[in-house]
Structure 1
Amino acid sequence: MNSAQVDAYLRRLGAEHPAWPTVDVLRELHLRHLRAVPFENLSIHLGEEIVLEEKRLLDKVVGARRGGFCYELNGSFGALLAALGYDVTLLAGRVYGDGGRLGVPYDHLALRVRTVDGGDWLADVGFGAHSHLPLAFGERGEQEDPGGAFRIVEAGPDAAGVRGGHDTVEAADLDVIRDGRAQYRLEVRPRTLGDFAVGAWWHSTSPESHFTRSLVCSRVTGDGGRITLSGRKVTSTAADGTKEERELATDEEVLGMYREDFGIELGGVPVLRRSV
Protein backbone atom coordinates (compact mmCIF):
# COMPACT_ATOMS: atom_id res chain seq x y z
CA MET A 1 0.00 0.00 0.00
CA ASN A 2 1.21 3.50 -0.77
CA SER A 3 0.68 6.48 1.53
CA ALA A 4 -2.38 7.72 -0.39
CA GLN A 5 -4.05 4.31 -0.03
CA VAL A 6 -3.25 4.22 3.69
CA ASP A 7 -4.70 7.70 4.18
CA ALA A 8 -7.85 6.79 2.24
CA TYR A 9 -8.32 3.61 4.28
CA LEU A 10 -7.92 5.49 7.56
CA ARG A 11 -10.46 8.09 6.39
CA ARG A 12 -12.88 5.24 5.70
CA LEU A 13 -12.43 4.17 9.31
CA GLY A 14 -12.56 7.71 10.67
CA ALA A 15 -9.11 7.26 12.22
CA GLU A 16 -6.01 9.43 12.44
CA HIS A 17 -2.66 8.20 11.17
CA PRO A 18 -1.01 6.55 14.19
CA ALA A 19 2.49 7.42 15.31
CA TRP A 20 3.36 3.85 16.34
CA PRO A 21 1.93 0.36 15.79
CA THR A 22 0.81 -0.15 19.39
CA VAL A 23 -1.79 -2.36 21.04
CA ASP A 24 -4.06 0.60 21.78
CA VAL A 25 -4.01 1.69 18.13
CA LEU A 26 -4.73 -1.88 17.00
CA ARG A 27 -7.71 -2.06 19.33
CA GLU A 28 -9.07 1.25 18.04
CA LEU A 29 -8.64 0.32 14.38
CA HIS A 30 -10.18 -3.11 14.93
CA LEU A 31 -13.33 -1.67 16.49
CA ARG A 32 -13.59 1.14 13.94
CA HIS A 33 -13.32 -1.40 11.13
CA LEU A 34 -16.19 -3.46 12.53
CA ARG A 35 -18.35 -0.34 12.78
CA ALA A 36 -17.47 1.18 9.39
CA VAL A 37 -16.94 -1.76 7.02
CA PRO A 38 -19.82 -4.26 6.87
CA PHE A 39 -19.53 -8.01 6.74
CA GLU A 40 -21.41 -8.81 3.53
CA ASN A 41 -21.63 -11.41 0.76
CA LEU A 42 -23.43 -9.31 -1.85
CA SER A 43 -20.80 -9.84 -4.54
CA ILE A 44 -21.72 -13.53 -4.76
CA HIS A 45 -25.33 -12.64 -5.59
CA LEU A 46 -24.53 -9.63 -7.76
CA GLY A 47 -22.30 -11.69 -10.03
CA GLU A 48 -19.18 -9.74 -9.03
CA GLU A 49 -15.84 -11.53 -9.21
CA ILE A 50 -13.98 -11.93 -5.91
CA VAL A 51 -10.24 -11.61 -6.50
CA LEU A 52 -7.83 -12.03 -3.60
CA GLU A 53 -5.25 -9.50 -4.67
CA GLU A 54 -4.37 -6.50 -2.51
CA LYS A 55 -5.21 -3.87 -5.12
CA ARG A 56 -8.58 -5.44 -5.92
CA LEU A 57 -9.46 -5.68 -2.24
CA LEU A 58 -8.54 -2.05 -1.63
CA ASP A 59 -10.49 -0.97 -4.71
CA LYS A 60 -13.57 -2.64 -3.23
CA VAL A 61 -13.27 -1.86 0.48
CA VAL A 62 -11.78 1.63 0.21
CA GLY A 63 -12.52 2.85 -3.31
CA ALA A 64 -16.05 1.49 -3.67
CA ARG A 65 -16.78 1.70 0.09
CA ARG A 66 -18.07 -1.85 0.16
CA GLY A 67 -17.61 -4.64 2.68
CA GLY A 68 -16.94 -8.31 2.11
CA PHE A 69 -16.47 -11.62 3.85
CA CYS A 70 -13.45 -12.89 5.77
CA TYR A 71 -10.95 -13.13 2.92
CA GLU A 72 -11.69 -9.61 1.78
CA LEU A 73 -12.08 -7.91 5.16
CA ASN A 74 -9.14 -9.50 6.95
CA GLY A 75 -7.10 -9.43 3.74
CA SER A 76 -7.50 -5.69 3.34
CA PHE A 77 -7.22 -4.96 7.08
CA GLY A 78 -4.02 -7.00 7.23
CA ALA A 79 -2.57 -4.94 4.38
CA LEU A 80 -3.42 -1.73 6.23
CA LEU A 81 -1.86 -2.96 9.47
CA ALA A 82 1.31 -4.06 7.68
CA ALA A 83 1.57 -0.65 6.02
CA LEU A 84 1.29 0.97 9.46
CA GLY A 85 4.24 -1.04 10.76
CA TYR A 86 2.60 -4.07 12.37
CA ASP A 87 4.02 -7.55 11.85
CA VAL A 88 1.06 -9.36 10.28
CA THR A 89 0.67 -13.09 9.60
CA LEU A 90 -2.28 -14.55 7.71
CA LEU A 91 -3.70 -17.67 9.35
CA ALA A 92 -6.04 -20.31 7.92
CA GLY A 93 -9.03 -21.52 9.89
CA ARG A 94 -11.89 -24.01 9.58
CA VAL A 95 -15.25 -22.98 10.96
CA TYR A 96 -17.27 -25.25 13.26
CA GLY A 97 -20.68 -26.04 11.82
CA ASP A 98 -23.64 -28.14 12.87
CA GLY A 99 -22.74 -31.07 15.06
CA GLY A 100 -19.28 -29.68 15.68
CA ARG A 101 -18.04 -30.60 12.20
CA LEU A 102 -15.25 -28.52 10.74
CA GLY A 103 -15.58 -26.76 7.42
CA VAL A 104 -13.39 -27.06 4.36
CA PRO A 105 -9.67 -26.18 4.39
CA TYR A 106 -9.05 -22.43 4.03
CA ASP A 107 -12.58 -21.91 5.30
CA HIS A 108 -11.61 -18.74 7.15
CA LEU A 109 -8.83 -16.15 7.17
CA ALA A 110 -7.73 -14.47 10.42
CA LEU A 111 -4.73 -12.35 11.41
CA ARG A 112 -1.93 -12.77 13.91
CA VAL A 113 -0.64 -9.28 14.64
CA ARG A 114 2.51 -8.37 16.56
CA THR A 115 2.69 -4.89 18.07
CA VAL A 116 5.70 -2.91 19.26
CA ASP A 117 4.53 -2.94 22.87
CA GLY A 118 2.24 -5.85 23.62
CA GLY A 119 3.05 -9.21 22.05
CA ASP A 120 0.85 -11.09 19.58
CA TRP A 121 -2.89 -10.59 19.00
CA LEU A 122 -5.62 -12.39 17.09
CA ALA A 123 -7.37 -9.79 14.94
CA ASP A 124 -10.51 -10.81 13.08
CA VAL A 125 -12.81 -8.26 11.44
CA GLY A 126 -14.26 -10.82 9.04
CA PHE A 127 -16.26 -13.34 11.06
CA GLY A 128 -19.51 -11.49 11.51
CA ALA A 129 -20.59 -11.59 15.16
CA HIS A 130 -17.30 -12.10 16.98
CA SER A 131 -14.91 -10.25 19.28
CA HIS A 132 -15.03 -6.47 19.01
CA LEU A 133 -11.38 -6.17 20.04
CA PRO A 134 -8.29 -8.23 19.26
CA LEU A 135 -7.67 -11.24 21.51
CA ALA A 136 -4.35 -11.93 23.21
CA PHE A 137 -2.93 -14.73 21.09
CA GLY A 138 -0.93 -16.44 23.83
CA GLU A 139 -3.53 -16.13 26.59
CA ARG A 140 -5.25 -19.43 27.41
CA GLY A 141 -7.67 -18.14 30.01
CA GLU A 142 -11.00 -16.43 29.43
CA GLN A 143 -10.89 -13.04 27.73
CA GLU A 144 -13.84 -10.74 28.29
CA ASP A 145 -14.89 -8.72 25.26
CA PRO A 146 -17.99 -6.67 24.35
CA GLY A 147 -18.81 -9.49 21.92
CA GLY A 148 -18.70 -12.23 24.57
CA ALA A 149 -16.32 -14.33 26.66
CA PHE A 150 -13.53 -15.79 24.51
CA ARG A 151 -10.85 -18.41 24.94
CA ILE A 152 -8.02 -19.54 22.68
CA VAL A 153 -7.05 -23.11 23.53
CA GLU A 154 -4.98 -25.94 22.14
CA ALA A 155 -7.19 -27.82 19.68
CA GLY A 156 -8.67 -31.21 20.35
CA PRO A 157 -12.03 -32.93 20.88
CA ASP A 158 -12.14 -32.04 24.57
CA ALA A 159 -11.00 -28.45 24.13
CA ALA A 160 -13.62 -27.77 21.46
CA GLY A 161 -16.40 -29.61 23.24
CA VAL A 162 -16.68 -32.01 20.30
CA ARG A 163 -16.70 -35.81 20.36
CA GLY A 164 -16.11 -38.15 17.46
CA GLY A 165 -15.51 -37.30 13.82
CA HIS A 166 -12.49 -37.87 11.63
CA ASP A 167 -10.84 -34.44 11.52
CA THR A 168 -7.08 -34.43 11.99
CA VAL A 169 -5.75 -32.27 14.80
CA GLU A 170 -2.26 -30.85 14.31
CA ALA A 171 -0.18 -30.24 17.43
CA ALA A 172 -0.12 -26.48 16.91
CA ASP A 173 -3.80 -26.01 16.02
CA LEU A 174 -5.86 -23.69 18.20
CA ASP A 175 -9.59 -23.49 18.84
CA VAL A 176 -11.24 -20.10 19.25
CA ILE A 177 -14.20 -20.38 21.61
CA ARG A 178 -16.94 -17.84 22.27
CA ASP A 179 -19.27 -18.18 25.25
CA GLY A 180 -18.33 -21.83 25.62
CA ARG A 181 -18.90 -22.74 21.98
CA ALA A 182 -16.10 -23.43 19.49
CA GLN A 183 -16.16 -20.95 16.61
CA TYR A 184 -13.24 -22.01 14.44
CA ARG A 185 -9.95 -23.92 14.44
CA LEU A 186 -6.80 -22.03 13.52
CA GLU A 187 -3.54 -23.28 12.09
CA VAL A 188 -0.51 -21.26 13.18
CA ARG A 189 1.45 -21.82 9.96
CA PRO A 190 1.81 -18.54 8.00
CA ARG A 191 -0.17 -18.32 4.77
CA THR A 192 -0.30 -15.97 1.80
CA LEU A 193 -3.41 -14.28 0.47
CA GLY A 194 -3.33 -16.44 -2.64
CA ASP A 195 -3.58 -19.59 -0.52
CA PHE A 196 -7.19 -18.69 0.26
CA ALA A 197 -8.35 -18.54 -3.37
CA VAL A 198 -9.73 -22.08 -3.20
CA GLY A 199 -11.73 -21.26 -0.06
CA ALA A 200 -13.13 -18.09 -1.58
CA TRP A 201 -14.07 -19.96 -4.75
CA TRP A 202 -15.81 -22.73 -2.77
CA HIS A 203 -17.79 -20.30 -0.63
CA SER A 204 -18.74 -18.28 -3.72
CA THR A 205 -19.95 -21.23 -5.79
CA SER A 206 -20.81 -24.29 -3.73
CA PRO A 207 -24.48 -24.97 -2.93
CA GLU A 208 -23.20 -26.31 0.40
CA SER A 209 -21.81 -22.92 1.41
CA HIS A 210 -24.10 -20.79 3.56
CA PHE A 211 -22.89 -17.76 1.59
CA THR A 212 -24.55 -18.99 -1.62
CA ARG A 213 -27.76 -19.76 0.26
CA SER A 214 -28.28 -16.43 1.98
CA LEU A 215 -27.87 -12.68 1.66
CA VAL A 216 -26.24 -10.87 4.56
CA CYS A 217 -24.97 -7.39 5.35
CA SER A 218 -24.03 -6.69 8.97
CA ARG A 219 -21.94 -4.39 11.12
CA VAL A 220 -21.33 -3.43 14.74
CA THR A 221 -23.19 -0.31 15.86
CA GLY A 222 -21.81 2.57 17.88
CA ASP A 223 -23.51 1.39 21.07
CA GLY A 224 -21.95 -2.08 20.86
CA GLY A 225 -24.91 -3.79 19.25
CA ARG A 226 -25.28 -5.05 15.69
CA ILE A 227 -27.52 -4.32 12.73
CA THR A 228 -28.05 -6.96 10.05
CA LEU A 229 -29.96 -6.98 6.78
CA SER A 230 -30.70 -10.47 5.40
CA GLY A 231 -32.68 -10.13 2.19
CA ARG A 232 -35.57 -7.97 3.42
CA LYS A 233 -35.33 -8.90 7.11
CA VAL A 234 -33.71 -6.39 9.46
CA THR A 235 -32.35 -7.64 12.78
CA SER A 236 -31.27 -5.08 15.37
CA THR A 237 -29.32 -6.63 18.23
CA ALA A 238 -28.68 -4.53 21.34
CA ALA A 239 -25.48 -4.74 23.36
CA ASP A 240 -27.30 -6.88 25.94
CA GLY A 241 -28.27 -9.42 23.28
CA THR A 242 -31.95 -8.53 22.91
CA LYS A 243 -33.18 -8.57 19.31
CA GLU A 244 -35.83 -6.83 17.26
CA GLU A 245 -36.80 -7.97 13.77
CA ARG A 246 -38.81 -6.34 11.02
CA GLU A 247 -39.45 -6.81 7.31
CA LEU A 248 -38.85 -4.17 4.66
CA ALA A 249 -41.77 -3.89 2.27
CA THR A 250 -40.29 -2.28 -0.84
CA ASP A 251 -37.14 -2.30 -2.95
CA GLU A 252 -36.72 1.39 -2.15
CA GLU A 253 -36.59 0.61 1.56
CA VAL A 254 -34.00 -2.12 0.99
CA LEU A 255 -31.77 0.10 -1.15
CA GLY A 256 -32.21 2.95 1.31
CA MET A 257 -31.06 0.79 4.19
CA TYR A 258 -28.00 -0.41 2.29
CA ARG A 259 -27.19 3.22 1.63
CA GLU A 260 -27.98 4.80 4.99
CA ASP A 261 -27.03 2.03 7.43
CA PHE A 262 -24.14 0.41 5.58
CA GLY A 263 -22.88 3.12 3.22
CA ILE A 264 -23.40 0.89 0.17
CA GLU A 265 -24.83 2.32 -3.04
CA LEU A 266 -26.49 -0.33 -5.21
CA GLY A 267 -28.23 -0.01 -8.54
CA GLY A 268 -30.72 -2.75 -7.70
CA VAL A 269 -31.75 -5.08 -4.91
CA PRO A 270 -29.51 -8.18 -4.74
CA VAL A 271 -31.32 -11.40 -5.61
CA LEU A 272 -30.41 -14.69 -3.95
CA ARG A 273 -28.38 -16.87 -6.26
CA ARG A 274 -27.80 -20.44 -5.09
CA SER A 275 -24.65 -21.31 -7.01
CA VAL A 276 -22.97 -20.91 -10.36
Structure 2
Amino acid sequence: MTWDIEKLDLDAYLNRIGHDGPRTPTAETLRAIHLGHVRSIPFENLDVLLGRGILLDLGSLQDKLVTGGRGGYCHEHNLLFAAALERLGFPVTRHLARIRLGRRHLPRSHATLTVRAGGRTWLADVGFGGEGLVEPIPFEEGASLESGAWRWRLGRDEEFWVLSSEETELYAFRADEPQLPSDFEVANFYVANSPHSPFVRHVLAQRTTADARIRLEGMTFSGAGELAGWLRDELGISLTEQDARALLPLLPP
Protein backbone atom coordinates (compact mmCIF):
# COMPACT_ATOMS: atom_id res chain seq x y z
CA MET A 1 0.00 0.00 0.00
CA THR A 2 1.19 3.52 -0.87
CA TRP A 3 -0.57 6.84 -0.48
CA ASP A 4 -1.25 7.05 -4.28
CA ILE A 5 -2.75 10.53 -4.01
CA GLU A 6 -2.69 10.97 -7.79
CA LYS A 7 -5.53 8.41 -8.02
CA LEU A 8 -7.96 10.76 -6.28
CA ASP A 9 -10.63 12.38 -8.42
CA LEU A 10 -10.29 15.74 -6.69
CA ASP A 11 -13.25 17.33 -8.47
CA ALA A 12 -15.53 14.45 -7.41
CA TYR A 13 -14.31 14.69 -3.81
CA LEU A 14 -14.87 18.45 -3.59
CA ASN A 15 -18.31 18.02 -5.14
CA ARG A 16 -19.10 15.32 -2.55
CA ILE A 17 -18.34 17.69 0.33
CA GLY A 18 -20.03 20.66 -1.32
CA HIS A 19 -16.88 22.76 -1.68
CA ASP A 20 -16.95 25.22 -4.59
CA GLY A 21 -14.65 27.80 -3.00
CA PRO A 22 -10.93 28.51 -3.37
CA ARG A 23 -8.47 25.67 -3.83
CA THR A 24 -5.43 27.55 -2.63
CA PRO A 25 -3.65 25.91 0.36
CA THR A 26 -4.58 28.52 2.97
CA ALA A 27 -5.87 28.18 6.52
CA GLU A 28 -9.28 29.36 5.33
CA THR A 29 -9.43 26.67 2.66
CA LEU A 30 -8.35 24.01 5.16
CA ARG A 31 -11.13 25.03 7.53
CA ALA A 32 -13.76 25.09 4.77
CA ILE A 33 -12.83 21.65 3.44
CA HIS A 34 -12.62 20.18 6.94
CA LEU A 35 -16.09 21.46 7.80
CA GLY A 36 -17.48 20.33 4.45
CA HIS A 37 -16.11 16.82 4.88
CA VAL A 38 -17.42 16.37 8.43
CA ARG A 39 -20.89 17.60 7.50
CA SER A 40 -21.13 15.64 4.25
CA ILE A 41 -19.60 12.20 4.79
CA PRO A 42 -21.01 10.21 7.73
CA PHE A 43 -19.07 8.26 10.32
CA GLU A 44 -20.00 4.57 10.34
CA ASN A 45 -18.71 1.03 10.81
CA LEU A 46 -21.48 -0.89 9.05
CA ASP A 47 -19.22 -2.85 6.69
CA VAL A 48 -17.31 -4.27 9.66
CA LEU A 49 -20.55 -5.67 11.12
CA LEU A 50 -21.62 -6.93 7.70
CA GLY A 51 -18.45 -9.02 7.53
CA ARG A 52 -16.71 -7.05 4.82
CA GLY A 53 -13.10 -6.01 4.85
CA ILE A 54 -12.13 -2.35 5.15
CA LEU A 55 -9.74 -1.43 2.34
CA LEU A 56 -7.52 1.62 2.59
CA ASP A 57 -6.23 1.97 -0.96
CA LEU A 58 -7.34 5.26 -2.46
CA GLY A 59 -9.45 3.65 -5.17
CA SER A 60 -11.50 1.76 -2.58
CA LEU A 61 -11.85 4.83 -0.36
CA GLN A 62 -13.08 6.88 -3.29
CA ASP A 63 -15.53 4.21 -4.45
CA LYS A 64 -17.05 3.95 -0.98
CA LEU A 65 -16.96 7.46 0.51
CA VAL A 66 -17.02 9.69 -2.58
CA THR A 67 -19.19 7.92 -5.17
CA GLY A 68 -20.75 5.08 -3.15
CA GLY A 69 -22.99 7.09 -0.84
CA ARG A 70 -21.33 5.66 2.25
CA GLY A 71 -19.24 6.80 5.18
CA GLY A 72 -16.49 5.13 7.15
CA TYR A 73 -14.31 5.33 10.22
CA CYS A 74 -11.10 7.21 11.00
CA HIS A 75 -8.67 5.43 8.68
CA GLU A 76 -11.02 5.76 5.72
CA HIS A 77 -11.94 9.39 6.39
CA ASN A 78 -8.53 10.77 7.23
CA LEU A 79 -6.55 8.97 4.52
CA LEU A 80 -9.04 10.24 1.93
CA PHE A 81 -8.91 13.73 3.44
CA ALA A 82 -5.10 13.68 3.52
CA ALA A 83 -4.95 12.78 -0.17
CA ALA A 84 -7.27 15.66 -1.06
CA LEU A 85 -5.24 18.12 1.02
CA GLU A 86 -1.96 17.03 -0.55
CA ARG A 87 -3.46 17.34 -4.02
CA LEU A 88 -4.37 20.92 -3.10
CA GLY A 89 -0.80 21.64 -1.99
CA PHE A 90 -1.02 21.28 1.79
CA PRO A 91 1.90 19.59 3.59
CA VAL A 92 0.30 16.73 5.58
CA THR A 93 1.68 14.30 8.17
CA ARG A 94 -0.33 11.18 9.00
CA HIS A 95 -0.30 9.95 12.62
CA LEU A 96 -1.65 7.07 14.68
CA ALA A 97 -3.05 7.99 18.08
CA ARG A 98 -4.04 6.13 21.23
CA ILE A 99 -7.72 6.54 22.13
CA ARG A 100 -8.21 7.61 25.76
CA LEU A 101 -11.88 8.19 26.71
CA GLY A 102 -11.09 7.45 30.33
CA ARG A 103 -8.37 4.89 29.66
CA ARG A 104 -4.61 4.91 29.04
CA HIS A 105 -2.11 2.86 27.09
CA LEU A 106 -4.52 1.55 24.47
CA PRO A 107 -2.99 0.57 21.09
CA ARG A 108 -2.27 3.15 18.40
CA SER A 109 -5.48 2.60 16.45
CA HIS A 110 -6.83 6.07 15.59
CA ALA A 111 -5.79 7.91 12.43
CA THR A 112 -5.31 11.68 12.64
CA LEU A 113 -3.40 14.40 10.74
CA THR A 114 -1.27 17.48 11.19
CA VAL A 115 -1.34 20.02 8.37
CA ARG A 116 0.67 23.13 7.55
CA ALA A 117 -1.33 26.18 6.45
CA GLY A 118 -1.10 29.92 6.95
CA GLY A 119 2.32 29.69 8.58
CA ARG A 120 1.03 27.38 11.35
CA THR A 121 0.56 23.69 11.99
CA TRP A 122 -2.99 22.45 12.60
CA LEU A 123 -4.45 19.27 14.02
CA ALA A 124 -7.04 18.14 11.47
CA ASP A 125 -9.29 15.14 12.03
CA VAL A 126 -12.48 14.42 10.08
CA GLY A 127 -12.83 10.82 11.25
CA PHE A 128 -13.11 10.54 15.02
CA GLY A 129 -16.91 10.37 15.22
CA GLY A 130 -18.41 10.90 18.67
CA GLU A 131 -17.34 14.33 19.90
CA GLY A 132 -14.51 14.72 17.41
CA LEU A 133 -13.33 17.90 15.76
CA VAL A 134 -15.48 19.62 13.17
CA GLU A 135 -12.75 22.05 12.10
CA PRO A 136 -8.96 22.22 12.58
CA ILE A 137 -7.40 23.36 15.86
CA PRO A 138 -3.96 25.05 16.04
CA PHE A 139 -1.35 22.47 16.87
CA GLU A 140 -0.05 24.45 19.84
CA GLU A 141 0.01 23.64 23.54
CA GLY A 142 -2.95 25.27 25.24
CA ALA A 143 -4.83 25.88 21.99
CA SER A 144 -8.61 25.93 22.25
CA LEU A 145 -11.39 25.86 19.69
CA GLU A 146 -15.09 26.65 19.84
CA SER A 147 -17.37 25.72 16.97
CA GLY A 148 -21.13 25.92 17.46
CA ALA A 149 -22.00 24.23 20.74
CA TRP A 150 -18.74 22.28 20.92
CA ARG A 151 -15.36 23.06 22.46
CA TRP A 152 -11.95 21.40 22.31
CA ARG A 153 -8.51 22.01 23.70
CA LEU A 154 -5.03 20.67 22.95
CA GLY A 155 -2.52 20.00 25.69
CA ARG A 156 0.53 17.94 26.60
CA ASP A 157 1.03 14.86 28.75
CA GLU A 158 4.78 14.35 28.82
CA GLU A 159 5.73 13.36 25.25
CA PHE A 160 2.12 13.06 24.11
CA TRP A 161 -0.18 15.66 22.58
CA VAL A 162 -3.71 15.22 23.95
CA LEU A 163 -6.93 16.39 22.30
CA SER A 164 -9.84 16.91 24.69
CA SER A 165 -13.51 17.73 24.19
CA GLU A 166 -15.04 19.56 27.15
CA GLU A 167 -13.71 17.49 30.09
CA THR A 168 -13.00 14.27 28.17
CA GLU A 169 -9.60 13.32 26.79
CA LEU A 170 -10.27 11.92 23.31
CA TYR A 171 -6.84 10.69 22.20
CA ALA A 172 -3.10 11.18 22.52
CA PHE A 173 -0.20 10.83 20.10
CA ARG A 174 3.44 11.69 19.58
CA ALA A 175 3.98 14.26 16.86
CA ASP A 176 7.53 13.06 16.19
CA GLU A 177 6.31 9.61 15.14
CA PRO A 178 4.76 9.86 11.65
CA GLN A 179 3.38 6.58 10.34
CA LEU A 180 3.92 4.63 7.13
CA PRO A 181 1.20 3.04 4.97
CA SER A 182 2.01 -0.36 6.49
CA ASP A 183 1.38 1.02 9.99
CA PHE A 184 -2.13 2.04 8.96
CA GLU A 185 -2.74 -1.40 7.46
CA VAL A 186 -1.89 -3.01 10.82
CA ALA A 187 -3.98 -0.55 12.85
CA ASN A 188 -6.90 -0.88 10.44
CA PHE A 189 -6.81 -4.68 10.69
CA TYR A 190 -7.00 -4.42 14.48
CA VAL A 191 -9.91 -1.96 14.42
CA ALA A 192 -11.91 -4.06 11.94
CA ASN A 193 -11.16 -7.52 13.35
CA SER A 194 -10.03 -7.61 16.96
CA PRO A 195 -12.61 -8.79 19.54
CA HIS A 196 -11.26 -5.97 21.73
CA SER A 197 -12.27 -3.34 19.17
CA PRO A 198 -15.61 -1.56 19.76
CA PHE A 199 -16.10 -1.48 16.01
CA VAL A 200 -16.78 -5.21 15.87
CA ARG A 201 -19.24 -5.15 18.79
CA HIS A 202 -21.44 -2.09 18.27
CA VAL A 203 -23.33 -0.40 15.44
CA LEU A 204 -21.85 3.08 15.06
CA ALA A 205 -23.36 5.58 12.64
CA GLN A 206 -23.39 9.36 12.93
CA ARG A 207 -23.85 12.49 10.88
CA THR A 208 -22.68 15.89 12.10
CA THR A 209 -24.63 19.02 11.19
CA ALA A 210 -23.90 22.64 12.08
CA ASP A 211 -25.50 22.20 15.52
CA ALA A 212 -26.18 18.50 16.15
CA ARG A 213 -24.75 14.98 16.15
CA ILE A 214 -27.39 12.65 14.70
CA ARG A 215 -26.73 9.06 15.77
CA LEU A 216 -28.24 5.64 15.18
CA GLU A 217 -29.08 4.82 18.77
CA GLY A 218 -32.12 4.40 20.98
CA MET A 219 -34.47 3.69 18.07
CA THR A 220 -36.53 0.76 16.84
CA PHE A 221 -37.52 0.01 13.28
CA SER A 222 -40.40 -2.03 11.91
CA GLY A 223 -38.26 -3.65 9.27
CA ALA A 224 -35.28 -3.43 6.94
CA GLY A 225 -36.98 -0.95 4.63
CA GLU A 226 -37.61 1.52 7.44
CA LEU A 227 -34.02 1.21 8.67
CA ALA A 228 -32.59 1.68 5.17
CA GLY A 229 -34.82 4.73 4.65
CA TRP A 230 -33.77 6.29 7.96
CA LEU A 231 -30.08 5.76 7.21
CA ARG A 232 -30.55 7.37 3.81
CA ASP A 233 -32.67 10.32 4.91
CA GLU A 234 -31.08 11.14 8.27
CA LEU A 235 -27.45 10.10 7.90
CA GLY A 236 -26.90 10.09 4.14
CA ILE A 237 -25.91 6.41 4.10
CA SER A 238 -27.01 4.37 1.08
CA LEU A 239 -27.61 0.78 2.16
CA THR A 240 -29.57 -2.02 0.49
CA GLU A 241 -32.54 -3.56 2.28
CA GLN A 242 -30.65 -6.85 2.37
CA ASP A 243 -27.81 -5.21 4.29
CA ALA A 244 -30.26 -3.35 6.52
CA ARG A 245 -31.97 -6.65 7.34
CA ALA A 246 -28.63 -8.12 8.46
CA LEU A 247 -28.04 -5.11 10.72
CA LEU A 248 -31.45 -5.10 12.44
CA PRO A 249 -30.60 -7.68 15.14
CA LEU A 250 -27.33 -5.86 15.87
CA LEU A 251 -28.88 -2.49 16.70
CA PRO A 252 -28.48 -1.27 20.28
CA PRO A 253 -31.62 -1.47 22.44
TM-score (norm 2): 0.87
- From 174, 181, 201, the equivalent of 1:213 is 201
Distance in 2 separating the partners of 1:46 and 1:135? 34
Shift of residue 147, structure 1, vs aligned partner: 5.5
Identity %: 34
Shift of 1:181: 2.0
The count of corresponding residues between Structure 1 and Structure 2 is: 240
The yes-or-no answer on 1:126 pairing with 2:99 is no
CA distances 1:112-147 after superposition (whole Å, capped 9, x unpaired): 0111x2411111111112221100002424332335
What do the CA deviations read for 1:122-173 (whole angstroms, capped 9, x no partner)?
11111112221100002424332335332211224xxxxxxxxxxxxxx3x2
The code of the aligned residue for 1:265 comes to S
The partner residue of 2:14 within 4, 10, 17 is: 10
User: Match of 2:168?
Assistant: 181
Residue 196 of structure 1 pairs with residue 197 of structure 2:
no
| Aligned-partner SS, 1:47 | coil
CA distance in 1, matches of 2:21, 2:62: 17
Q: Partner amino acid for 2:41?
A: V
Give, in angstroms, the shift of residue 17 of structure 1: 5.5
**Do the aligned residues in 2 keep the contact of 1:97 with 1:103 (CA within 8 Å)?**
no
Contact 1:52 1:194 in 2 (8 A): no
**Residue type at the aligned position of 2:167:** G
Partner residue, 1:228: 215
The equivalent of 1:108 in structure 2 is 110
Letter of the 2:151 counterpart? A
CA separation of 1:215 and 1:4: change in aligned 2, threshold 3 A: closer
Aligned partners of 1:12, 1:46: CA distance in 2, in Å?
Answer: 25
Alpha-carbon distance between aligned partners in 2 of 1:19 and 1:137, rounded to the nearest angstrom: 22
Secondary structure of 1:185's counterpart equals strand
Match of 1:250 in 2: 223
Equivalent residue, structure 1, for 2:236: 263
- Determine which of 157, 166, 170 is the counterpart of 1:155: 157
Alignment of 1:56-135 (within 5 A): 56-98=60-102, 100-105=103-108, 107-115=109-117, 117-128=118-129, 129-135=131-137
Q: Indicate which of 142, 145, 151 corresponds to 1:140.
A: 142
Q: Is the 8 A contact 1:151 1:177 kept in 2?
A: yes
Residue type at the aligned position of 1:257? W
CA contact (8 A) 1:93 1:110 kept: yes
Contact 1:131–1:147 (8 Å) recurs in 2: no
Structure 1 residues 81-131: Cα deviation after superposition (integer angstroms, max 9, x where no partner): 111111111011000144x223212x101010111x241111111111222
Q: Per the alignment, do residues 49 and 17 of structure 1 end up closer, same or farther by CA in structure 2, a change over 3 Å counting?
A: farther
- Bigger drift between 117-126 and 34-43 goes to 117-126
Task: Describe the SS at the equivalent of 1:16.
Answer: coil
Distance across 1 between alignment mates of 2:122 and 2:163: 13
**Higher share of residues assigned helix:** 2
Distance apart, 1:3 and its partner CA: 8.6
What residue ranges of structure 2 are gaps of 5+ in the alignment? none
Gaps of 5+ in 1: 157-170, 234-245
TM-score by length of 1: 0.80
Letter aligned with residue 120 of structure 2: G
Amino acid at match of 2:70: R
Pairwise CA distance, 1:48: 1.8
For residues 17-72 of structure 1, the C-alpha deviation after alignment (integer angstroms, 9 at most, x for no partner) is 52411111111111111111000001101222112222221221112121110000
